[in-house]
Amino acid sequence: MERIPILKMGEFLLVTIQVDMHDRLALALQDDLTQRIVDTSARGVLIDISALDVVDSFIGRTLGNIAAMSRILDAETVVVGMRPAVAITLVELGLPLHGVRTALDVEKGMGLLRKAVAGRRPGDGYRAQ
């Protein structure tokens, strides 16, 4: 079964979705990513969805879930590179992904992630937002 690669960059994990997401793939990513966060004790996760041009409510919800799970595991999550059509679809579906950080591209996302992680005191752990 195909899997979405999760790359480790220092204390961050980088996920680039380059294929069409289907439900099982999204669930596999959710499993893999949470596992990797625990294994590497990553401080931040960056999910690049710039190649994703179709989303449905399930994928949208899974993205939100992944972000919430990462936060519980003490890793900030930034979703970057969302296409206009995808953003409109998610809003129309009633999934504005509250509580997920977003940025325009990977570079800006990385900056946001660094700032977010630097702003936290070490061992601060999960805070309800």
d(CA 120, CA 68): 17
Q: Closest distance between another protein and the C-beta of residue 17, in Å?
A: 15
d(CA 129, CA 127): 6
d(CA 49, CA 11): 20
**In the structure encoding, which two tokens stand for residue 117, read together?**
């992680």
Residue 10 binds another protein (CB under 8 A): no
Residue 64 binds another protein (CB under 8 A): no
Nearer Cβ to another protein (36/77): 77
Residue 52 binds another protein (CB under 8 A): no
- Strand ranges for the chain from DSSP E: 6-9, 12-16, 44-48, 76-80, 101-103
- Site residues for another protein, window 85-114 (CB under 8 A)? 86-88, 90-92, 96-97, 102-105, 108-109
Report the interface residues with another protein, using CB under 8 A.
Answer: 79-80, 82-84, 86-88, 90-92, 96-97, 102-105, 108-109
